Amino acid sequence: MKYDREEKDILDAYESGSLKISTPSKKEIESIKAAAKNTFKKDKRITIRLYDHDYKGIQKKAMEMGIPYQTLISGIVHRYIEGELTSKNG
């Protein structure tokens, strides 16, 4: 598995014994559960217009991935907002 710098630092600290793992409190567990639930909560509907070629292309890609095309579009938008997708020129 390939780690980024932060992940490698955490792993090294844990393996050297300088990082200790503690059991989260009930309050922390509830907070984590709430955050996870809200992460997957989709509460807005939108309507968009796409070129027919793009629509068919997104449907084809989604079918290849075995997911609904709306899920693929939502995932692409989310990754873009989080900065995980960038333009080729930028």
Count of the separate structural domains present in the chain: 1
Residue 17 resides in a domain? no
Helix axes 52-65 and 69-81, enclosed angle (nearest 10): 100
The pLDDT assigned to 20 comes to: 81
Percent of the chain predicted with pLDDT > 90: 31
The DSSP element (H or E) to which 15 belongs, if any, is: helix 5-16
The whole-model pTM stands at 0.51
Determine the Cα–Cα distance for residues 15 and 54; give it in Å rounded to an integer: 48
pLDDT digits (tens, 9 = 90+) for 47-89: 999 999 999 999 999 999 999 999 899 889 988 888 888 777 7
pLDDT digits (tens, 9 = 90+) for 33-51: 888 887 777 777 889 999 9
Amino acid in the structure at residue 62: A
Residue 58 resides in a domain? yes
The DSSP element (H or E) to which 78 belongs, if any, is: helix 69-81
Domain that holds residue 55: 23-90
Residue 59 resides in a domain? yes
Tokens 């084809």 belong to residue:
60
Contact 25, 39 (CB under 8 A): no
Residue 54 resides in a domain? yes
